[in-house]
Amino acid sequence: MISQVTYPEPIEIAIAQLESWGQTLGDRYLFRNYSLSPRSLALLLLQKDPTLWQTLEQDREQCSYLEILITVTQNQLKQPIGLAIANTRQSRATAIERAVVHETKQTRSSLAETLHQLTVNPITGFPILVVILYYGVYKFVGEFGAGELVDRIETFFEGQINPVVNYLTAQVIPWKAIQDLIANDYGIITLGIRYATAIVLPVVATYFLMFSFLEDSGYLPRLSLMLDRLFKSVGLSGRAVIPMVLGLGCDTMATIVTRTLETKRERLIATFLLSLVIPCAAQWGVIVGLLAQKPAALLFWGGFITLIFLVVGYLTAKFLPGTSGSFYMEVPPLRLPKLRNILTKTWVRMKWYFVEILPLFIWASVLIWVGRLTGLFDLIIRAIEPLTLALGMPKQAAPIFLYGFFRRDYGAAGLFDLQQQGSLTGNQLVVAAIVLTLFLPCIAQLQILIKEQGSKITLAIVMFVFPFAFLMGYIVNHGLILFGVNF
């Protein structure tokens, strides 16, 4: 027979006092509503169980008594009461397991157990995360995907495909307006398909390869465990790490995955942060590729976006009523990823992403063509130019924000074109990258956002995000000038 769990002495004394208190009041006031034992109810009261405390809210005298008892108990412990109770239970469960379970063979290698502990402990887990971000994101996706691969494919498009398309279109189609729809500066092939294939595709492919590698290794659930406490500060649980990391590939897909979060409040906070500060693979991949030659600028951009994530998330969590959901997750064993699994997952995600993105890029080119044909495009550009100048950027940067209205990664691709032309300084590049990162969600994400959260909440998010993005760009620009920082 398993004996009763014995907690540290201050907790046992508090339990005895609460059991005595419950005998005098419980039968007619509190304990009669629950089938739990007085000892279990006492433990819940010591941990300030929301349901029990809500029952007691009307009786200030009893609440005051409990508050004093909890404070006295806490002062005698070196750790929070809830943590002391959890540690005691875990130690007892481990002792029971060792007493009744006989392992005929080692179920988990000592190396795997050591790696598990290293990845979930914040002291060692954060350096491991930094290494993964450096080699997986900066070197592989940023330098190789958004740098070398994009340069090679972009050079091929500019040198071999675009001139041929422009020539054939001019020979076959006599109408200049139709020529501009297909070719020239803003054509479906020369702009839309070039952006989607030459700039977006290499970045998305390298990111999904990296993501599939981490997913198949079993690392992502451990990352959730490690970041649970940090995410609690922004009103989320560690479970939200998965849609956030997935959002670094595609925010649209990640918005759908927020359905796995436990509470409506968590889903709202997660979708808001995805819309504001989480750039998709194509967007941040292009930005990392552009800033790779200026490490200080890249660190500033990453640090600033992270700060916005924490501050806005914290304020949103304080503003919205409710609490974070409980966090529990199955942790699979760490293993060497299988190449077949990695390639299959990457292919499925790539196919889904490219089928979604290519039509949107084509439609963006069509809308730009219509805008230029009717004069609306030039009118919008002239309206955006004062905002562009206020950010300390040249007038020719205005179209990239218009591109960003169709898709943020479309705007990032436009930023790539400007950088290739040598039109932006390091500071201007950083400001543009920050504004585009915080810019409006893409059309596909807006559609999913309306479906998941409704039109009113989506409109509220858009009305906040649009001015906030330009405000942050304005503040950063003048802050860099004030402190004499030049990237």
Specify the residue for token string 């997913």. 215
CA of 348: how far to CAs of 53, 249, 342, in Å? 49, 13, 10
The Cα 119–Cα 125 span in angstroms is 4
What is the pLDDT tens value at each position of the chain, 487 positions in all? 456 788 888 888 888 888 777 666 554 455 555 667 778 888 888 888 777 777 766 666 777 778 888 888 888 888 888 888 888 888 888 888 888 877 665 555 577 778 888 888 888 888 998 898 888 877 888 778 877 888 888 888 888 888 888 888 888 888 888 888 888 877 888 877 887 788 778 878 888 888 889 888 888 888 888 888 788 888 888 788 888 887 887 777 788 778 878 788 888 999 999 888 888 777 777 788 778 778 888 889 989 999 999 999 889 888 887 666 666 667 788 888 899 999 998 898 888 777 777 787 787 778 778 877 888 878 888 888 888 888 888 888 888 877 777 666 667 777 777 777 777 888 888 888 898 888 877 766 777 788 888 888 889 998 998 899 989 999 999 998 888 888 8
The Cα 22–Cα 34 span in angstroms is 12
- Give the largest Cα separation in the chain, rounded: 97
- Sequence letter at residue 106: Q
HSE (CB half, 13 Å, CA atoms) of 410? 27
CA of 399: how far to CAs of 89, 390, 405, 433, in Å? 60, 15, 10, 14
CA of 99: how far to CAs of 2, 92, 93, in Å? 11, 11, 10
Cα–Cα nearest to 240, from 230, 249, 250, 252: 230
Specify the residue for token string 């995955």. 257
The Cα 250–Cα 166 span in angstroms is 32
Torsion over CA: 173, 175, 176, 181 (sign): negative
Q: Which two tokens stand for residue 97?
A: 């397991």
Per-residue pLDDT tens digits for 63-119: 777 888 888 888 888 888 888 888 888 888 888 888 887 766 555 557 777 888 888
Note the pLDDT of residue 28.
46
Per-residue pLDDT tens digits for 367-386: 778 877 888 878 888 888 88
- Sequence letter at residue 335: R
Specify the residue for token string 């157990």. 113
Q: Which two tokens stand for residue 419?
A: 């950088």
The Cα 487–Cα 322 span in angstroms is 43
Domains observed in the chain = 9-100 (1.10.287), 123-482 (no CATH)
